[in-house]
Amino acid sequence: MNFKEQLKNRTEEVEAIVRRYLPEETGFQKTVLAAMDYSVLAGGKRLRPMLMEETWKLFGGKGEEIGPFMAAIEMIHTSSLVHDDLPAMDGDEYRRGKKTTWVEYGEAMAILAGDGLMIFAFETAAGAFAHTSHPERVGEAIRILAAKTGIYGMIGGQTVDVELTGRPMSGEQLDFVYRLKTGALLEASMMIGAVLAGASAEQVKAVEQIACDLGVAFQIQDDILDVTSTSEVLGKPVGSDEKNSKNTYVSLYGMEEAKKQVENLSRRAIQALGAFPSRNEFLEELFAYLIHREK
């Protein structure tokens, strides 16, 4: 079986796990529940839960506690996309070829759906306590999830991104945004997988740096695609960074330097990943695929 066939199978497996934890659309509040489910089920690579599970496998993880965290990380990621698409942020009307949540349900309900997904993610993750013989690992995983989501993680990166949109940004500030806004949830995904599998503190720290490199390379590649791809391939508008006066690696350093940085970061991440005592060849191939993706 080649990598693309493996990826398709793994994506379907992850999709089934994520769906298992989504809320049922019932009760007087069913509109927000429907908006939450719509947002999560609008498609996507399921990259973060897949990275989490593959890192868990890399360190010999066994048990059922990984499932709630896989769903939780996808809920948090989707929450950030729902809010990013709002008129107050990027104002995008399509994502993954479908209408964004605020277009489908209205701005107010999209705000509530994003908030709902964020909170429900932690309720879901806490469910892992019922499926583990290592509650201390689950507790540490929840701490990582909160830290990488909050003001010192994804939300902190988004804050700087919003404040400096349309204004000059230094390379140091851009790196900060990329490491937090994109990298933090990738770091959380891989660190949680390692923690739940019983990896050492040193191994978890190494995983954090690997995921950071992956996250920055992934975001730079996104910048490149926003200039070079088409709406049909991406499933969302191209040129949105320029339209929204966004600072990007391409606008700051140029296309050639952006491509060179993607290569350098991806090479470093893949080499570090291969240095652990055990190997996960699918995970290594996944890194290369994601960094050099066309959509």
* Contact by Cβ (8 Å): 274, 200: no
DSSP 251-294: HHH-HHHHHHHHHHHHHHHHHHHTTSSS--HHHHHHHHHHHT--
Whether the Cβ atoms of residue 120 and residue 179 lie closer than 8 Å to each other: no
**Which of these ranges, 9-18, 196-205, 217-226, has the smallest mean pLDDT?**
217-226
Indicate if the pLDDT at residue 230 is higher than 60.
no
Are the C-beta atoms of 206 and 194 separated by less than 8 Å?
no
Sorted by sequence, the CB contacts under 8 Å of residue 294 that are 6+ apart come out as 225, 229, 233
What are the CB-based long-range contacts (under 8 Å, 24+) for 230-234? 231/94, 233/294, 233/295, 234/295
Of the chain, the percentage scoring pLDDT greater than 70 comes to: 94
* pLDDT the model gives residue 217: 93
| Per-residue confidence (pLDDT) for residue 90, from 0 to 100 | 87
For range 41-68, the mean pLDDT: 95
- To the question of domain 3-291 being in CATH 1.20.120.450, the answer is no
User: Which pLDDT band, with edges at 50, 70 and 90, does 44 fall under?
Assistant: confident
Segment 223-237 shows an average pLDDT of 67
Sequence ranges of the domains in the chain: 3-291
Residue 245 in this model has a pLDDT that exceeds 80: no
What percent of the chain has pLDDT above 90? 82
CA 206 to CA 213: how far, in whole Å?
A: 11
Residues 6+ away with beta carbon under 8 Å from 60: 197, 198, 278
Q: Nearest 5 degrees, angle CA 110-CA 84-CA 34?
A: 25
For the full predicted model, state whether its pTM sits above 0.85. Answer: yes
Query: Stretch 116-121: mean pLDDT, rounded?
Result: 98
CA distance 287 to 274: 11
| Region 137-151 average pLDDT | 98
Residue partners of 247: CB distance under 8 A and separation at least 6:
164, 165, 168, 169, 173, 174, 177
For residues 236 and 92, give the distance between their C-alpha atoms in angstroms, rounded to a whole number.
Answer: 8
Cβ neighbours around 97 below 10 Å, total: 12
Q: Tens digit of pLDDT for each residue in 168-194?
A: 899 999 999 999 999 999 999 999 999
Average pLDDT over residues 220-224: 92
Q: Which residues lie below 8 Å from residue 263, measured CB to CB, with a gap of 6+?
A: none
Most distant CA pair in the chain: distance in Å?
Answer: 53
State which amino acid sits at residue 149: T
The model's confidence at residue 233, banded by pLDDT at 50, 70 and 90, is very low
Strand 94-95 versus strand 98-99 pairing type:
antiparallel
